[in-house]
Amino acid sequence: MINRIQCKTKRMQTPNKLLIGLSPRLLHDVPRELGFRGKTLQYLEQSVAHWVMALGALVVMVPTVERESLIRRSHIDIADYVSALDGLILQGGADIDPRAYGEVASHTVGPVDATRDRFELDLLRAFIAAEKPVFGICRGMQLINVACGGSLHQDLRADSVTPNWHVHSDAYDKHVHPLAIPATSWLSALYGGVTATWVNSIHHQGVERLGEGLRVQASADDGVVEAITSTGIEEGKPFLLGVQWHPEFHDGSDPRLLPADPLMQAFLDAAEQRRAVLSQAIAS
């Protein structure tokens, strides 16, 4: 395996830095004071982008491509994004429409965005097909599970999965809980054998039926799935990583929380290695 410090150093020095796509959140009902009346905003919260950039890669936002939009798929297709980018990060946000995993929404489901769901699922599946790495955060982890045929608990407490709150509106990213990591897991190995730690928690839904080809890498102390990967990730097979917490908010202010950088470094290493494989294939 390529040494991660060497990868980071090379990434900082090379003019051909990794190019990572970050899918946006959508704001359809724009507050009047922002000055975009009747328009839709696509935006990023800066923490994830800055986290990627701090480790030596470039970040671009991937605006949605919709059949009914001005930019039709005949002009710019999802395949164009997949070809141009080295990896994809799916950030947090609204609940996924339960219709995406074959269910009817209960009263517990918050506002959904079918446009974002369709686009991100198409984008995610295209990256998987191209064997380019994907890193899903919170909603992004749930999308990975759904894209692989899994389902979600629409509300962890209402579905009697746990009596614990996994979201606290006032505490937000300061709301934390313990995390259990199996000793034989890829995630434990990534963190030098860690099996118990803490993470933040900003979600009310979670994995119910695990998607095909996925493996649970960590759980909360109440059993809620908190991290998943593709099977075979240890052998360098196609890289899918999803975490239910928000590592971009693990800024070191709470020493109990699992450090964020090893996760991003593993993702960027996978992107570096996949780029090398594709470059070699083109050269030959």
- Return the number of other C-beta atoms located less than 10 Å from residue 62's C-beta: 21
Tell me the pLDDT tens digit for each residue of 64-115: 876 555 545 455 688 999 999 999 999 999 999 999 999 999 999 999 998 8
Tell me the pLDDT tens digit for each residue of 165-187: 999 989 999 999 999 999 999 99
Q: Any idea what DSSP says for residue 223?
A: S
- pLDDT > 70 in the chain, percent: 91
Between 193 and 113, the higher pLDDT residue:
193
pTM: 0.91
**Residues 215-239: what's their mean pLDDT?**
95
> What's the structural domain count of the chain?
1
Average model confidence (pLDDT) for the chain? 91
Tell me the pLDDT tens digit for each residue of 149-166: 999 999 999 999 999 999
**Residues 17-42: what's their mean pLDDT?**
89
- Return the number of other C-beta atoms located less than 10 Å from residue 257's C-beta: 20
pLDDT at 68: 54
pLDDT at 75: 59
Residue 11 in this model has a pLDDT that exceeds 80: no
User: Distance between CA atoms of 19 and 11, rounded to whole angstroms?
Assistant: 11
Nearest to 225 by CA among 245, 254, 250, 240: 245
pLDDT at 1: 40
45: domain CATH number is 3.40.50.880
Domain span including residue 186: 4-283
Helix (H) or strand (E) holding 27: strand 25-27
